[in-house]
Amino acid sequence: MGRSFENRKASIFKTAGQKSKLYSRYGKQLYVVAKNGVPDPDSNPALRNMIERAKRDQVPAHVIEKAIEKAKGVGGEDFQPVRYEGYGPGGCAVIVDCLTDNNNRTITDVRNCFTKTGSKLGPTGSVAHSFDHLAIFSFKGDDGDAVLEAMLNADVDVDDVEAKDGYVTLFAPVGEFFKAKTALLEAFPELELEVQEITFHPQAYKELSTDDGPMMEKFLAMLNDCDDVQEVYHNAILPT
């Protein structure tokens, strides 16, 4: 495993337009989490965690509040999660997670991204086996043994703990997300989690050629422009 997943998650939300997309995505995710549970972060751990992530990514308070207030209303939009899998430029494995209220629109948009970059959209399960679905926490530190001991004391299942480059990264089963987070914060009250997410972590990486690298960047940019796309996971290492 390792922190390479962080190194590959370059921030693409820098311009005003890109920030707007980021806010829109968080607004949709917050709305869905609040609508499907309780629109109160004190009673909804998933919503509380999503709010923390949004704040860390500098999403304005009014965007967060608007999404939660919208979820309190009767009726509203009905967003459903949809996942697509396939192979990107150079044959790298790709998973695309979406939230949509129109499946036909979403599949058309996503398929267009694959088609225009020489990529191949596959059936469900075609590449998911190449990833581990994990809860990941990363924070500044160097004592991985202390973190592992804290998890064992709290009876939290752990896949791996890695201390590298001034950071400790904890990998745990998805079902242990909230239990692991609680154990971390109780054992280390001053801890600031820089990464706290459920993600697809590649089991192996694929280095792209200098020809495929630019096409992969185009592919990711096109997916980012799709309103319904929420997350993109891949195992590509782009050439430097």
Q: Is residue 143 part of a domain?
A: yes
The band of 126, judged by pLDDT with boundaries at 50, 70 and 90, is: very high
Q: Is residue 47 part of a domain?
A: yes
Q: Is residue 7 part of a domain?
A: no
| Whether 193 and 207 share a structural domain | no
Q: How far apart, in Å, are the Cα atoms of 47 and each of 12, 64, 106, 229?
A: 24, 10, 25, 20
CB of 229 within 8 A of CB of 199?
no
| Whether 198 and 137 share a structural domain | yes
Q: Mean per-residue pLDDT for 44-66?
A: 94
Q: Is residue 141 part of a domain?
A: yes
Chain mean pLDDT for the chain:
91
| Whether 212 and 104 share a structural domain | yes
| Whether 173 and 217 share a structural domain | no
| Whether 135 and 119 share a structural domain | no
pLDDT at 4 over 50: no
pLDDT at 23 over 50: yes
Who's near 82: CB < 8 A, 6+ residues apart?
97, 98, 99, 100, 103, 106, 107, 228
**pLDDT given at position 173:** 97
Helix (H, G, I), strand (E, B) or coil at 170: strand
| Whether 107 and 161 share a structural domain | no
Q: Mean per-residue pLDDT for 206-232?
A: 96
Least confident range from 74-88, 94-108, 179-193: namely 74-88
The CATH number assigned to the domain holding 144 equals 3.30.70.980
Q: How far separated are the first and last CA of the chain, in Å rounded?
A: 21
Give the range of the structural domain holding residue 185, as residue numbers without chain letter: 130-202
| Whether 112 and 212 share a structural domain | yes
**pLDDT given at position 14:** 45
The band of 10, judged by pLDDT with boundaries at 50, 70 and 90, is: very low
**pLDDT given at position 74:** 72
**pLDDT given at position 73:** 84
Q: Is residue 1 part of a domain?
A: no
Who's near 237: CB < 8 A, 6+ residues apart?
4, 8, 205, 206, 207, 208
| Whether 213 and 161 share a structural domain | no
- Please identify, among 72, 90, 115, the residue that sits at the C-terminal boundary of a domain: 72
**pLDDT given at position 149:** 97
| Whether 140 and 123 share a structural domain | no
| Whether 155 and 192 share a structural domain | yes
Q: How many domains does the chain have?
A: 3
The CATH number assigned to the domain holding 45 equals 1.10.10.200
